[in-house]
Structure 1
Amino acid sequence: MGYFTKDEWMDGMRNLNVTNNEDLKAKIFDMEESLQDERQFKDFYSFVFPFAKTKTQKSMDVEVALALWEIVLKDRYAHVPLFIDFIRKQEPIKVVNKDQWTSFLDFCKVISVDLSNFDPLSSWPVLFDEYVEWRRDNGL
C-alpha cells in the first residue's frame, strides 16, 4: 500500500521545508489540524482510496477498507462502527469500489444515525440499502 521512492520522499520533504524529525512532527501536527476543515478532510479521504488499493485493481480489498474506515472515520461519524459490524457479520462484499468508498463519507454526513432521513428511492449504492435494511431488521 502506498509506495514512495526515496527520491519522492526527499522531494516531498523539501517541498514541505522539512530538514529534521522535529520539523516533520510539526508538519504532521499541522496536517492533522487541517483535517478539521471539511473540504480538506474530503480531499484527504478521496486521496486514501487510490493510495490504499494496488495500482492494478479498480477496487480495494474489504479488509483494507474496513481498517481504513476505522482509522480515518471512526471518531467522526456514528455510522462507522455499525457499518463495519454489518460488513463483518453479513459479508455482503469482498471488495469496496471507488463509488462505495466515496459515497460512504457522504452517507455518514447526510444520513442521521437513526436512519430517519434515509430515502430508499435515493441513489445510494445498493450496499447502503442493505446496511439500512440490516439495521432496521436488527433494531439497531
Structure 2
Amino acid sequence: MGQCVTKCKNPTSSLGSKSGDKEGGSKSHHKKGGGGHKEEQHAPCSKAIGELSNGTKALEVTMETPVISAVMGEPHKDMGLDGDGLSMLRIEELFYCYKDEHEDAILEEGMEMFCIDLCVDPAEFRVLVLAWKFQAATMCKFTRKEFIDGCKAIKADSLEGICLSFPVMLLDAKGEENFKDLYRFTFQFGLDADEGQRSLQRDIAIALWRLVFTQNSPAILEHWLDFLSENPSSIRGISRDTWNMFLNFTQAIGPDLSNYSEEEAWPSLFDTFVEWELERRKKEEEQMAKEEEGRCTDSECSPTTDRLETEGSRGSQTWGGH
C-alpha cells in the first residue's frame, strides 16, 4: 500500500507488491480448487461476471453465485445483514477471492489483484489510507481479521462499496487528529516485522514521508528530505521518536526556521538539519547576489548613468528655452 518499501527493501516499489511490478495483473493467481488469473487488464469495478482478475473462476464449482455477488456488490438472498446493512458472508467471500493458497491472509500476489480490481495504483495514497482503516500490521498483507474488521469499519462488503468509500476515507484523513493517527500508523506499517525492526531505513522513511504528506505537504518537507538524501553516511535510520517529532516540527516551526531553538527538546537530528538548511540558504543568497552583480558590471552601468545625466541636461535646456 502506497509503496511496498519495507518487504522488498526497495522504496520505489509498490505497497501491494514486494517486487514492485506494476504489471502484477498479468501474473497467475492460483486459488484452492484450481483455475488461474486471466491475463487481460480490465477495469474491475465494471467487470463482466466470470472475468475478474483475481481468479474467481477457481471457485465457480462450489460457490459461484455467492462469490460473484460478493465481488460485484450484487445482493444474494441468503446473506445475513448486520446492523449497518453489511453482509458478513459477502465480506468473507470477498476475502477468499484474494486469499493466499497456503496462508489465511491476502499476501503480495493477492494484494496486487485486489488493487487492480479496485482500480487503484498500489503506490498511491489511497491504498495507504485503506491499510490504515484496516489497521494492517504489515505491508503487502491483510490477515482475515484485518480484512473483515476493516470492511466493517468502512461499511463496505463489496469492491464497489470499497471504491465508493475512498472519498470519505480521504476526507477523514485530513482531520487533525485522524491525520496524526495515520501519520503514526505509517511508521509502524513501514517496519519489517519479520526482522524485528525498530527504526525505518533512511530511504524507506523518505518514501513514506512523501506518501503520508500527499494531501497536506508542509513547506519544509522537501528541504528535510533533501537533507536526509544528501547525508546518507550520517543518517542510517529514522527512529520512532524522530518520525513522530517531525510532525510536531512542521506544525510548530515556521518555514523560515526563525523560531527554532536548540534549547527545546527536539531530536539532535533536527539541530543538524536546521544548521544545514540555514547554511544552504545563505549560500543560495550569496550565489543570487553574485549573479545579480554579474548582470550589472561597471562597464555596463556607467554608460547608462552617463546617458541618464545627458538626457537630464537636455531636459533642463529644453525647459529653460521655454
Verify same fold: TM over 0.5: yes
Of 31-40 and 71-80, more deviation after overlay is shown by: 71-80
Alignment-derived partner of residue 243 in structure 2: 101
Alignment-derived partner of residue 159 in structure 2: 21
| Runs of 4+ in structure 1 over 6 Å off | none
Say whether residues 1:123 and 2:265 are aligned partners.
Answer: yes
Instruction: Output one character per residue of 1:73-98: Cα deviation in whole Å (capped at 9) or x when no partner.
Output: 25420111000000001223111110
Q: Matched residue of 2:259: which SS?
A: coil
- More helix as a share of residues: 1
Root-mean-square deviation over aligned CA pairs = 1.6
Distance 1:8 1:116, change over 3 A: same
Q: Matched residue of 1:96: which SS?
A: strand
Alignment-derived partner of residue 297 in structure 2: none
Alignment-derived partner of residue 9 in structure 1: 147
Report the AA paired with residue 110 of structure 1.
Answer: A
Report the number of matched residues.
Answer: 140
Of 17-26 and 33-42, more deviation after overlay is shown by: 17-26
Report the AA paired with residue 101 of structure 1.
Answer: W
CA distance in 1, matches of 2:178, 2:152: 22
Q: Matched residue of 2:281: which SS?
A: coil
CA distance in 1, matches of 2:279, 2:147: 49
Alignment-derived partner of residue 42 in structure 2: none
CA shift, 1:16, in A, is 2.9
Of 104-113 and 46-55, more deviation after overlay is shown by: 46-55
Q: Provide the TM-score with structure 1 as the length reference.
A: 0.91
CA distance in 1, matches of 2:212, 2:152: 26
Structure 2: runs of 5+ lacking an equivalent: 1-5, 7-137, 283-322
CA distance in 1, matches of 2:219, 2:266: 18
Q: Matched residue of 2:264: which SS?
A: coil
Alignment-derived partner of residue 134 in structure 1: 276
After TM superposition, the structure 1 = structure 2 runs for residues 27-42 of structure 1, keeping only pairs within 5 Å, are 27-42=165-180
CA distance in 2, matches of 1:113, 1:104: 13
Distance 1:25 1:43, change over 3 A: same
Q: Could you tell me the percent identity over the aligned residues?
A: 31
CA distance in 2, matches of 1:7, 1:24: 17
Of 101-110 and 73-82, more deviation after overlay is shown by: 73-82
**Does the aligned pair in 1 maintain the 2:186–2:212 contact within 8 Å?**
no
CA shift, 1:35, in A, is 1.7
CA distance in 1, matches of 2:209, 2:191: 14
Q: Matched residue of 2:256: which SS?
A: coil
CA distance in 2, matches of 1:68, 1:28: 20
Say whether residues 1:69 and 2:209 are aligned partners.
Answer: yes
CA distance in 1, matches of 2:162, 2:185: 20
CA distance in 1, matches of 2:152, 2:211: 28
Of 16-25 and 112-121, more deviation after overlay is shown by: 16-25
Report the AA paired with residue 76 of structure 1.
Answer: S
Structure 1: runs of 5+ lacking an equivalent: none
**Does the aligned pair in 1 maintain the 2:201–2:237 contact within 8 Å?**
yes
Instruction: Output one character per residue of 1:3-35: Cα deviation in whole Å (capped at 9) or x when no partner.
Output: 322443134224433122221022222111012
Distance 1:121 1:46, change over 3 A: same
Alignment-derived partner of residue 112 in structure 1: 254
CA shift, 1:124, in A, is 0.5
Equivalent in 219, 223, 228 of residue 78 of structure 1: 219
Q: Matched residue of 2:235: which SS?
A: coil
Report the AA paired with residue 84 of structure 1.
Answer: L
Equivalent in 193, 197, 212 of residue 57 of structure 1: 197
Q: Which has the higher contact order (CA 8 A, sep 6+)?
A: 1
